[in-house]
Amino acid sequence: MADDAILEGEFFMNGDEACAEGAIAAGCRFFAGYPITPATEVAERMSRRLPQVGGVYIQMEDELASMNAVLGASWAGVKAMTSTSGPGFSLMMENLGLGAMLETPCVLVNIQRAGPSTGLPTLVGQGDMMQARWGTHGLYELISLVPSSPQEIYDLSVTAFNLSERYRVPVLIMSDEVVGHMSEKVVMRRVPPEDIVERRRPTKPPGEYWPYEPDDDLVPPMAIAGQGYRFHVTGLTHDERGYPVMTAEAQDVLARRLVDKIRVNRSDIIMLEEVDTEDADVIVCAYGITSRVARRAVRQARDGGIRAGLVKMITVWPFPEDRIRELASQARAFVVPEINYGQVVLEVERCAAGKARAVLVPHMGGGVHRPETVLDAIRGAVL
Amino acid sequence: MTTAVTTEKHPYDPYLRVDRMPHIWCAGCGVGPAVGCFIKAIERSGVNPDRIALISGIGCAGRAAGYVRLDSFHTTHGRALPFATGLKLGNPELNVVIFSGDGDLAAIGGNHLIHAARRNIDMTVICINNFNYGMTGGQLGPTTPLEARSSTSPYGNFDPPFNLPHLVAACGATYVSRWTVIHLRQLERSIAEAMVKPGFSFIEVLAPCPTVYGRMNKLGQGTDELHTYQSRCVVQNGADPKDAEIGLSGTIIVGKFVDTERPTFWDHCMKVFKKAQKK
């Protein structure tokens, strides 16, 4: 394998390209995708780079196929990724659910554009945040990360693969068009082996191994195809053997574990950055490109004598609800700017539970907030 | 007085998840015999079963993955082929077999079918064609003959069907055959040939569905439908697949239609990727 083709050093590149490089640094060696603006540069970079590092790039016939090919490759033991946007994200929902059900490590990158439908293909949106949580049918929890710069999308691509391998779950990188298309300095590194997480392999021999017999952390070790385990996996509700069982009892055991393996491990999963929250009366909760606008607004508010703070989310799902609950008993209000008409604000409001107000600062998409708009909302929140 | 012949072991047991028996297929269904042929074909092919991955979509035939003791994947409706594509490219040493139905592979999965054939991915597709959606109660499918009755064509079908061998041959499949579940030896041989042949192989298996398609079209019991095949089928190896259309009555051409050579997707892939690694 041509691992010496992994890039190290400082580069000037856009977020889409940095995302691809982060994935390669994390050990991704399979990419299946379908061209779509503004995620195309992720696929283009992968098509050039994967062959250099001994990986496989394939352009599939659509996003349904792309998501499935990624799942298949993961079951062959290869770290696999796809990228898309808007309409393609909708098409991937069906088999994102299969990924959740089969407990398949993989990474799905969504460079969000404004919607619904074809919307604004070349312009930014953050309208898929609830789709990332609830978009495929049924009961499950996935992990969603929200980078705000080319450097962060590079770093979070490594994190995404590690989390997906650790928890046997599809991980979503919920980026946006501005982060995807902006070019900045990106420092790349060869990730040391101890910082790379690999899925837990079976400790039991073929014949005794079952694909959904979980360890204490609710995550089952994963066999891969072709090694003699002769395992069965299905999108049907199944027992620990992977066999279909069409009962409410089996559904109860499985659905609880699929959700709980994320919920009970959430303190290990959730990442956020806080700025000046210790004494804050008003806290701006923001993510992706919007968090950079928010950072400036918070600084301006502080300069103007308002005790403002910032919670910059890195993980949106699972939602950092424990921390938001704590902050709700201290702050008077949360201000939530997002490039949609109110999605993550609903979670903030739920966790604030009436102890602090949650103020939405919406932007319908096609551009980012002006810092002054967020600043006005901060001022309004402390009146 | 006759006594039932019972036996502790069945010769196919090593290849079956016996702890999952009895299976869900109806009496007289053609999926079971086709699974039997596949199991015998594994032995005939000499392929190490530990290296075989079996992928199914959704439907009656799609349940095969659950019963055959191989690494097996029961995926989503229509998506067996792209899942299998990822699996094969992730580990080209795997012998990849897809076992699914006509509705799954040719309707909801039709786009994936033509592209897998075009790419000539090294895999074997066993397509059970029972002319309707059996699992959901006998709706018309992409193979239902014109004028045939189904639960969604109560006055007779007006939706022209695919000729599957013609379709996949036109898309570039390098091995194409059609048999019925009365052609057990030919079917077994055909599956074994396909499994060891590089490239995209497609085997259509006509199978009775006495519970719904057969009942709605007054074809009698499963065995009666087999007799119908016996009288209607003509073996024509090497026939032009475009002549192999299936109507509600008349001749059904079966046989091996295509057995040709073309570089596989992986062959092309390796050639180009080697060039990339030199850069």
Q: Is B110 on the interface with A (CB under 8 A)?
A: no
Kindly state whether residues A30 and A138 are assigned to the same domain: yes
Torsion angle, CA of A369/A374/A375/A376, rounded to 10 degrees? Answer: 110
Q: Is A77 on the interface with B (CB under 8 A)?
A: yes
Residue A236 domain-assigned (yes or no): no
The DSSP string of A64-77 is HHHHHHHHHHHHTT
Distances (CA, A) of A43 to A55, A58, A301, B38, B227: 13, 9, 40, 38, 53
The residue among A88, A261, A257 whose CA lies nearest residue A163 is: A261
Q: Is residue A351 part of a domain?
A: yes
- Nearest neighbour of A52 by CB, restricted to B94, B112, B276: B276
Q: Residue A233's closest chain B neighbor by CA? A: B73
Q: Which positions 16-35 of B are in contact with A (Cβ < 8 Å)? A: 17, 19-20
Among residues of chain A, what percentage have pLDDT more than 70? 99
Statement to judge: residues A10 and A147 lie in one domain:
yes
Q: What is the pLDDT of residues A248-258, one digit of tens each?
A: 999 999 999 99
Dihedral over alpha carbons A74, A76, A77, A80 (to 10 degrees): -30
| Residue A1 binned pLDDT confidence (cut-offs 50, 70, 90) | very low
Top residue of A28, A230, A231, A238 to mutate, by most chain B CBs within 10 Å, is A230
Taking an 8 Å cut-off on Cβ atoms, the answer to whether B91 and A77 are in contact is yes
B57 min Cα distance to partner chain A (Å): 10
B112 in contact with A, Cβ within 8 Å: yes
Task: Decide if B258 touches A, using CB distance below 8 A.
Answer: no
Domain assignment present for residue A278? The answer is yes
Q: Is the pLDDT of residue A40 over 50?
A: yes
CB contact under 8 A, B82 and A64: yes
Classify residue A209: in a domain, yes or no. no
Q: What is the ipTM of this complex?
A: 0.97
A166, A191, A216 - which closes a domain: A191
What is the interface size between A and B, counted as CB pairs within 8 Å? Answer: 149
Nearest by CB to A235, which of B76, B78, B269? B76
Q: Which amino acid is at A347?
A: E
Mean pLDDT of A34-46: 98
Q: pTM, whole model, 2 decimals?
A: 0.97
A191, A218, A239: which is the final residue of a domain? Answer: A191
Q: Cβ distance A227 to A132 under 8 Å?
A: no
Quote the CA–CA distance of B163 and B184 in Å, as a whole number: 22
| Residue A189 amino acid letter | R
Neighbouring residues of B25: CB distance < 8 A, sequence distance ≥ 6:
B31, B32, B60, B63
Return the CA Rg of chain A.
21
Is the pLDDT assigned to residue A91 strictly greater than 90? Answer: yes
Q: What are the C-alpha distances in Å from A301 to residues A175, A288, B132?
A: 27, 20, 67
In a domain, A356, yes or no: yes
In this structure, is residue A247 part of a structural domain? no
Looking at the fold, whether A178 and A306 belong to one and the same domain comes out as no
Q: Is the pLDDT of residue A355 over 60?
A: yes
Task: Spell out a b/e string for A198-209, using b for 16 or more CB atoms within 10 Å of the CB, else e.
Answer: ebeebeeeeeeb
Nearest to A29 by CA among A68, A66, A62, A76: A76
Average pLDDT over residues A208-217: 97
In terms of phi and psi (left: phi > 0; alpha: psi -120 to 50; beta: otherwise), the region of A282 is beta
Q: Which chain A residues are within 8 Å of B121, Cβ to Cβ? A: none
CATH of domain B13-278: 3.40.50.970
The token pair at B11 is 């010769």
User: Does residue A158 belong to the interface with chain B, where contact is any CB pair within 8 Å?
Assistant: no
Please tell me which of the candidates B90, B273, B277 has its beta carbon nearest to residue A30: B90
Q: What is the pLDDT of residues A112-156, one digit of tens each?
A: 999 999 999 999 999 999 999 999 999 999 999 999 999 999 999
**A71, A98, A230 ranked by CB distance to B71: nearest:** A230
Instruction: Judge: A98–B20 Cβ closer than 8 Å, yes or no.
Output: no
Task: Quick: pLDDT tens for A263-277.
Answer: 999 999 999 999 999
Strand partners, A338: A362
What residue ranges of chain B have pLDDT lower than 50?
none
Name the residue among A51, A69, A231 with its Cβ closest to that of B86.
Answer: A69
A40 with A187, same domain?
yes
Q: Closest partner residue to A65 among B90, B93, B112, by Cβ?
A: B112
Residues of chain B in contact with residue A227, where contact means CB-CB under 8 angstroms, are: 50
Interchain contact A56–B (C-beta under 8 A): yes
Burial of B274 (0-12, 13-18, 19+ CB in 10 A): exposed
* Subunit contact B50:A227, Cβ cutoff 8 A: yes
User: Which of B85, B171, B275 should we substitute to test contact with A (largest number of A Cβ atoms within 10 Å)?
Assistant: B85
Question: Is the backbone of residue B199 left (phi > 0), alpha (psi -120 to 50) or beta?
Answer: left
| CATH number assigned to the domain comprising residue A301 | 3.40.50.920
In this prediction, residues A339-366 reach a mean pLDDT of: 98
Q: Is any Cβ of chain A less than 8 angstroms from the Cβ of B185?
A: no
- Check if B132 contacts A (Cβ < 8 Å): no
Range of the domain at A287: 273-382
Co-location of A316 and A187 in the same domain: no
Q: Say yes or no for a CB contact (<8 Å) between B70 and A60.
A: no
A311 in a structural domain:
yes
List chain B domain ranges.
13-278
Q: Which one, of B231, B220, B187, lies nearest residue B206 by Cα?
A: B187
| The total number of structural domains that make up chain A | 2
A28 within domain boundaries:
yes
